[in-house]
Amino acid sequence: MKGLQLAECYFNEHGSPLIKQKFPDYQHKIAAGLIGDGSECLNFDDAISRDHDWGPGFCFWLTKQDYNDIGEALQSEYDALPGNFRGVERKTSDWGKGRVGVFEIGSFYREYIGRTNVPETLAEWLRIPETYLSAGTSGKVFYDPLGEFTAIREKLLKFYPDDVRLVKIAARCMSAAQSGQYNYSRCISRKEFYAAQYAETKFCSDIMSIVYLLNCRYTPYYKWIHRGISALPVLGDFMFRKIAAIMDSKDHDRKQHIIEEISASVIQTLRTEGLSNSTSDFLLDHGFVVHEKICDDELRKRNVWLG
């Protein structure tokens, strides 16, 4: 059983009855689910994942007033729930504490986005690391009759304001072009193999980031970027296969050929979606065009490389 499914079953069998029996006056105000760090929140967990911070557990989320009223008592009752569920016991590492249990809604979101509610300005959106937004919108809400937790989650899931998305796409076009289409082959020619490996990895990372942005999905933690991309409808499966081909190949000319294939596919998609009308085959040129489509004057004045 996947960790997210295990967590929901654990809540249904133990968490839900706990609310109804011990906190009946609050049963229509408490939200529950599993969201945050951990491969299980992305549904990517496997046998390897089970050695730490994996197993039965979930989150209770309360409004600030309700947290002040019953947060400590609810946490005490949560801690008393069975440690072993369906033959599985949660293994918690020193750095994985605090992923499950009782949380105040605002404080929970602050851990991921640095604030208690949805960003209000473009600058606030840009300050939040994208992997944090991915983690903070991952997983599943099992129960939320009040809807306050879910209201914030749904606004975050609507993705970036379009200008922020354009800023990021433009910057990724610039850096992908620099690392992959320009510097990779130059590093190989100089026998600077560390630099070449870095350029290759940087190119792949930036390209996959563009694909997530084109799909209006937050890029996850680096360990899951490639695995997660295959499910995305726009360029997802194609890019999953091409990135894997770069990693598998030992031939530098073959790698450069795939880099150009990948770049061409991104460029074509930018044109198809009306984000660029440039005829150039160099991604950097398209970065400038995308950047010019930003509506906000201050953002458009930013250096195009600063995504």
Taking only the tens place, the pLDDT of each residue in 5-60 is 999 999 999 999 999 999 999 999 999 999 999 999 999 999 998 888 888 999 99
Is 306 a domain residue? no
Q: What's the pTM?
A: 0.95
The CATH number covering residue 172 comes to: 1.20.120
Alpha helices in the chain (DSSP H): 3-10, 16-22, 64-79, 105-113, 122-127, 130-136, 148-157, 162-176, 184-189, 193-214, 225-229, 236-248, 252-272, 283-292, 297-301
Tell me, yes or no, whether 7 and 151 share the same domain: yes
Note down the domain range covering 238. Answer: 162-301
Tell me, yes or no, whether 57 and 199 share the same domain: no
Tell me, yes or no, whether 134 and 107 share the same domain: yes
Q: What is the pLDDT of residues 214-250, one digit of tens each?
A: 999 999 999 999 999 999 999 999 999 999 999 999 9
CA atoms within 13 A on the CB side of 133: 23
Tell me, yes or no, whether 185 and 101 share the same domain: no
Tell me, yes or no, whether 264 and 196 share the same domain: yes
- Which residue type occupies 222? Y
Q: Domain total for the chain? A: 2
Is 108 a domain residue? yes
The domain boundary residue, chosen from 118, 140, 157: 157
Tell me, yes or no, whether 26 and 148 share the same domain: yes
Displacement of CA 298 from its chain's centroid (Å): 27
Is 73 a domain residue? yes
The domain boundary residue, chosen from 139, 157, 175: 157
Q: What is the pLDDT of residues 70-118, one digit of tens each?
A: 999 999 999 999 989 998 888 888 777 889 999 999 999 999 999 999 9
3-class state of residue 305 by DSSP: coil
Tell me, yes or no, whether 167 and 267 share the same domain: yes
